[in-house]
Amino acid sequence: MSTNIVVPELGESIVEATVVRWLKKEGEPVMIGEAVVELETEKANFEVASEQSGVLVRIARGADEDVKVGDLLGVIEATEKGITPTKIKLKEEKIEPPTKEVKPQKVLEAENEKTEIKLVTPVAKQMAEELKIDTSKIIGTGPGNRVTKEDIQKYINNERVEAREPATESLIKQKMDKVPTVTPAVERDRREERIRMSARRRTIARRMLDAQRTAAILTTINEVDMSAVMDLRKRHRDTFKERYGIGIGIVSFFIKASIGALKEFPLLNAEIQEDEIVLKRYYDIGVAIGATGGLVVPVLRDADKMSYADIERAISELSKKSEEGTLTLEDLRGGTFTISNGGVYGSLLSTPILNPPQVAILGLHKIEERPIVLNHEIVIKPMMYLALSYDHRIVDGREAVLFLVRIKKLIEDPGALLLEG
């Protein structure tokens, strides 16, 4: 009895995946519940397990192939009674010895002759023909191990360990003088490399284009004085870490401030479904993380109910999982509003792209000391630019600007965040 291995349901709105690698080879035994193949989706990698014990008799889709939900990946055959998977494997891998008529040495010699012609530069080839030199005896030092003019000259110099007739010396010198010294264009290093885009990178590219095609994206920018937050962090850093076992960062303040502003301006915590606006009365905040395999946006569920310590622990855990490639579909599903912190990479200002179907995203940037006017005096303050991108189809400029101003006020007066719950 055989069982098909198929692409399972991949999660919300995900219909495609890419085969990363097979964990078993054809002919190998498989236990029920054992992982046999790894798939990559736009959000995370996961393994597909076998639903029965037996032998993997067929691999239908190889590494780097794109598949859809329900596609056949492979076939597992239940082990026949009295026959072990090991015996089946040995039978399938039996290899007949080569016959005596095969002459591998002759084949290799023919290949070497063809290769030698390809590994000589045009200038060196002309020079070798005129001087009647066998290039197969010369070790090439040019790009791709090509024999160059310099290699031939070196070979000639080495051959001069014994005296030559004057006429031969004159002929060599004459031929050397006629050879041009300009390096041929074919010897230039103009390497190119083709890398197949991962499923995640292809999806990121598609979603970014879809966001710009389907939404009317505008961006409003403001700046915020980070003095109060930085002072608060400095005063309570040691106590906070001692009590909760983790440091307190910048993003948690902006998550709290964003939730306060979203409660006041609910259209920025909504999405468009055909001709309807869906207002969401819960706050699942996505935090963009630039992982090695590409951008991911894990989600903090019900972030309005989380403490600062809860937020910091969650961000730390999600960042670790993103680097290890262990994020689950549940970690990435949904989200009502996103925060992206380009400041960790040194970005001073940017215009973030929406994360559909969300209608707003907040971009944080580098904190930089700048002169500002305060109470009619020029002072130096740690300032940060904030950028809010929004979908102008349902969010007007007035709401967007006031939303960002609200975040600015809450950050510049962290005590007010306590009143936001």
Q: Using DSSP bridges, classify how beta strands 45-49 and 29-30 pair: parallel, antiparallel or unpaired.
A: unpaired
Cα dihedral: 19, 24, 30, 35 (round 10): -40
Query: Angle 227-244/308-324 helices, nearest 10 degrees?
Result: 80
Helix (H) or strand (E) holding 22: strand 16-22
Active site residue 392: yes
Exposed e or buried b for every residue in 50-85, given b needs 16+ CB within 10 A? beebbbbebbebeeeeebeeebebbbbbebeeeeeb
Distance in angstroms (rounded) separating the CA atoms of residues 275 and 155: 80
Q: What is the DSSP letter of 147?
A: B
Which residues make beta-bridge pairs with 353?
none
Tokens of 237: 């850093």
Distance in angstroms (rounded) separating the CA atoms of residues 382 and 312: 22
- Residue 24, classed as helix, strand or coil, is coil
Exposed e or buried b for every residue in 192-229, given b needs 16+ CB within 10 A? eeeeeebbbbbbbeebeeebeeebebeebbeebbbeeb
Kindly report the number of other CB atoms within 10 A of residue 47's CB atom: 13
Of the candidates 61, 8, 1, 54, the residue with the CA atom closest to the CA atom of residue 31: 54
Of 64, 210, 396, 413, the active-site residue reads 396
Active site residue 396: yes
Q: Which residues are catalytic?
A: 392, 396
